[in-house]
Structure 1
Amino acid sequence: MNTSRRHTFIWALSALVVLAIAWALYAHWPAMAHKDRPLGMGGRAEPVAAVAVVPQDVPVYIDALGTVTPTQSVTVITQVDGILASVDFKEGQQVRKGQVIARIDDRALKAQLAQAKGVLAHDQAVLSNAQRDLARYRELIKAGSISQQTLDTQISTVAQQLGTVAADQGSVQNLEVQLSYCTITSPVDGIVGLRQVDPGNYVTTASTSAIAVITQMKPATVVFAVPEDYLGAINQARAAGAVSVLAYDRNKQNLLGSGQLLALDNQVDTSTGTIKVKAQFNDAEHVLFPNQFVNARLKAQTLDQVPVVPTRAIQHGSQGDFVFVVAGSKASLRNVKSGPSVGDVTAILDASVKPGEQVITEGADKLDNGSAIKVVAQ
């Protein structure tokens, strides 16, 4: 029994030794094969594409999501009670300041105005008679025909009648103003929205329903918020001159308009750490609509003649960004400090690459520092 167990143990030990030798040969074989390879991954010169580094002016933009706001937005409501007689605009129509957009039945107010004018004419006649009596009393007092009390009473009568006439004139003016409210005109140049009240409805000053909403979109404005960290850069740009702002669509593909920075808010929003910025667009009234979301790009500065490389040439590693530079027949790895991008190129902010050098744009994923390369496309 002991002999059988001993033979089994020997066989098991032998099998383990064989497996260990086989594993060691398997693990050691790639290293031996790699040791015999020449420089360059794969044992041959890797074909790559390269592009020359060039100097270029690179604008530095601050991007933010903005909202289009009209220059003015006016909610037109009635200032008198009455029947809406007519609506004199088409929905979405461009209207001018002073243009009639609606009328309210004014017959009742016209009747009240006529009555007020009649009262005014009556009181003016009474005043005129009292003034003539006062003139006669002033002559009679000199002859001693009337007493001083009679003269004083007539002076007071004229003053009272003057007050009555002034009140009548105020009533007439008030009714004339009320009558003018029956013809509703546009207070601004702009685009009128959808009709909200139809003719024939009784409208009152207490009603919350507007007859129309008119928005002035020339010039259009865009409001967006930027982090407070950019305040210094924005103020420096403003001190240097006009600051340009671009408005793109939601996908950042189509340029909707070019404008200028108009104003900064007077305080930072402490809950978000941002400050509101307003930009003005003079010639974008037909592409920018109120409450539309746009991508705003504020030009903070311009980097003058800095080296730029294609963005696809920049690789990202644990030690930061790097590029491969063509050094003869080999690839040289250079750590770079990437800056802002414009189009399909990115600015390099340090002296790691120089204009005229070639950076590899295709095939870099197969390279290492010192890999043999062959430039097949430029």
Structure 2
Amino acid sequence: MMESRRRKFGLVVGVVVVLLVAIGVWFFLFAAKPKPKPPVTGEPVAAVAVKLQDVPVYIDALGTVTPTRSVTVVSQVSGILSTVEFKEGQHVRSGQVIARIDDRTLKAQLAQAKGVLAHDQAVLSNAQRDLARFRELIKIGSTSQQILDTQASLVQQQQGTVASDLGSAQNLEVQVGYCTITSPINGVVGLRLVDPGNYVTSASTTGIAVITQLDPATVVFSVPEDDLGTINQSMSRGAVTVLAYDRNKNALLATGSLLALDNQVDVSTGTIKVKAQFDGSGNKLFPNQFVNARLEADILKQTPVVPTMAIQHGSKGDFVLVVVGDKASLRIIKAGPSMGDVTAILDNGLKATDQVITEGADKLDDGSPVKVVAQ
């Protein structure tokens, strides 16, 4: 029994020793070696290369469309408005008949004036023949000088009467012509202000209709007096482009050019009025319409531009993050005018070979590891 127990004990001890040796070998081969560190991966970002292009410098202002000419058509004679020969909103040409006034009374007066003129012309002709006969008789002594002088004065009086009659007839002809009202300009007729059958007078200021010339249209807007020098320099180089946008600055309505500057600055607002002309604008610019005017004051030649979304704002000013190798580098910049989705950089902090980070920059600092995953 004792020998059997000794054998079992020896067997147990041997198994334990083998297990301890196996554990020691495993620990030496595997557990004692340090685990390798995982490779460092950068923050995924999207980057865009810096571009060089011409960037226009605009001066924005709120403007009002003003017609080139706006005429209120009034009657120059008094009478019944017999017909109105236009449709509201119609395009009319210069000289086109738009209304007629009853002219029968004036035509009767004209006929009477022409009759008086014919009578006085006959009297003048007879007096001139008598004067010619008296001049012949004075040569042979058959009449006196007094009679000849009296006849000469009579002829002059009759000439004055004929001239007066002729003026009266011509005046009535003009009055009759006024009964046919024509358009003085090319434009669009507004709403009718007087209906046919009404009695109109030359003293009325309401008029029959208002005709507005829409093309070319002009826009008047105010700019700060600080921009006056820049605008004058642009005008000295040639025509200055002006763009007219709608209220939301989304739709471009028309493209024109700077026409004139006002001759003085408004001291109460510190601004100066500017007028621009838009040829061929059609119905896109309507009188008294409010538009957003953009005056192209200058052009920055071959200036670095970056997407506007890449520019961030900090306590030290505007900055962008540039990809340098596999890290992000912070660059302080001076942002200039914007054009669409890009913004010009006015200083020399960026080159055309640089790549600026547009997405993922909110998680980065100067020197942070990055990995460009999208261009």
TM-score normalised over the length of structure 1: 0.87
Question: Match of 2:107?
Answer: 110
Question: Match of 1:357?
Answer: 354
Question: Match of 1:148?
Answer: 145
Establish whether residue 191 from structure 1 lines up as the match of residue 179 from structure 2. no
What amino acid is the match of 1:75? T
Deviation digits for residues 279-328 of structure 1 (CA, Å, limit 9, x no counterpart): 11111122111111111111111111110000111111222111111112
Contact 2:41 2:371 in 1 (8 A): no
Residues of 1 paired with 2:354 and 2:175: CA distance?
A: 80
Question: Match of 2:226?
Answer: 229
Deviation digits for residues 79-132 of structure 1 (CA, Å, limit 9, x no counterpart): 100000000000100100000000000011001111111111111111111111
- The DSSP-based 3-state class of the residue aligned with 1:339 is strand
What amino acid is the match of 1:68? V
Question: Match of 1:134?
Answer: 131
Q: Which has the larger radius of gyration?
A: 2
Residues of 1 paired with 2:311 and 2:174: CA distance?
A: 72
Following TM superposition, by how much is the alpha carbon of 1:148 offset from its aligned partner in structure 2, in angstroms?
A: 1.0
Question: Match of 1:375?
Answer: 372
What amino acid is the match of 1:350? D
Residues of 2 paired with 1:140 and 1:278: CA distance?
A: 77
Establish whether residue 292 from structure 1 lines up as the match of residue 285 from structure 2. no
Question: Match of 2:168?
Answer: 171
- The DSSP-based 3-state class of the residue aligned with 1:139 is helix
Question: Match of 2:45?
Answer: 48
Residues of 2 paired with 1:333 and 1:344: CA distance?
A: 21
**Quick check: 209-218 or 95-104, which moved more?**
209-218
Question: Match of 1:207?
Answer: 204
Question: Match of 1:33?
Answer: none
Question: Match of 2:311?
Answer: 314
Residues of 2 paired with 1:325 and 1:288: CA distance?
A: 45
Following TM superposition, by how much is the alpha carbon of 1:270 offset from its aligned partner in structure 2, in angstroms?
A: 1.4
Deviation digits for residues 182-241 of structure 1 (CA, Å, limit 9, x no counterpart): 000000011111111100000111222220110111111111111111111111111111
- The DSSP-based 3-state class of the residue aligned with 1:113 is helix
What amino acid is the match of 1:327? V
Residues of 2 paired with 1:256 and 1:150: CA distance?
A: 83
- The DSSP-based 3-state class of the residue aligned with 2:205 is coil
Residues of 2 paired with 1:232 and 1:343: CA distance?
A: 26
What amino acid is the match of 1:150? I
Residues of 1 paired with 2:272 and 2:172: CA distance?
A: 48
Question: Match of 1:283?
Answer: 280
Following TM superposition, by how much is the alpha carbon of 1:44 offset from its aligned partner in structure 2, in angstroms?
A: 6.7
Following TM superposition, by how much is the alpha carbon of 1:362 offset from its aligned partner in structure 2, in angstroms?
A: 1.2
What amino acid is the match of 1:131? Q
Residues of 1 paired with 2:313 and 2:73: CA distance?
A: 58
User: Which 4+ residue blocks in structure 1 deviate beyond 6 angstroms?
Assistant: none
Could you tell me which runs of 5 or more consecutive residues in structure 2 were left unpaired when the two chains were aligned: 1-39
What amino acid is the match of 2:363? K
What amino acid is the match of 2:48? V
What amino acid is the match of 2:334? K
Question: Match of 2:321?
Answer: 324
Following TM superposition, by how much is the alpha carbon of 1:46 offset from its aligned partner in structure 2, in angstroms?
A: 2.3
Residues of 2 paired with 1:51 and 1:104: CA distance?
A: 73
Question: Match of 2:255?
Answer: 258
Contact 2:193 2:207 in 1 (8 A): yes
Establish whether residue 124 from structure 1 lines up as the match of residue 121 from structure 2. yes
Question: Match of 1:344?
Answer: 341
Question: Match of 2:87?
Answer: 90
Could you tell me which runs of 5 or more consecutive residues in structure 1 were left unpaired when the two chains were aligned: 1-42
- The DSSP-based 3-state class of the residue aligned with 2:44 is strand
- The DSSP-based 3-state class of the residue aligned with 1:194 is coil
What amino acid is the match of 2:366? N
Residues of 1 paired with 2:192 and 2:71: CA distance?
A: 14
- The DSSP-based 3-state class of the residue aligned with 2:284 is coil
Match of 1:64 among 61, 65, 68: 61
What amino acid is the match of 1:252? K
Following TM superposition, by how much is the alpha carbon of 1:140 offset from its aligned partner in structure 2, in angstroms?
A: 0.9
Residues of 2 paired with 1:162 and 1:348: CA distance?
A: 86
- The DSSP-based 3-state class of the residue aligned with 2:77 is coil
TM-score normalised over the length of structure 2: 0.88
Residues of 2 paired with 1:185 and 1:157: CA distance?
A: 44
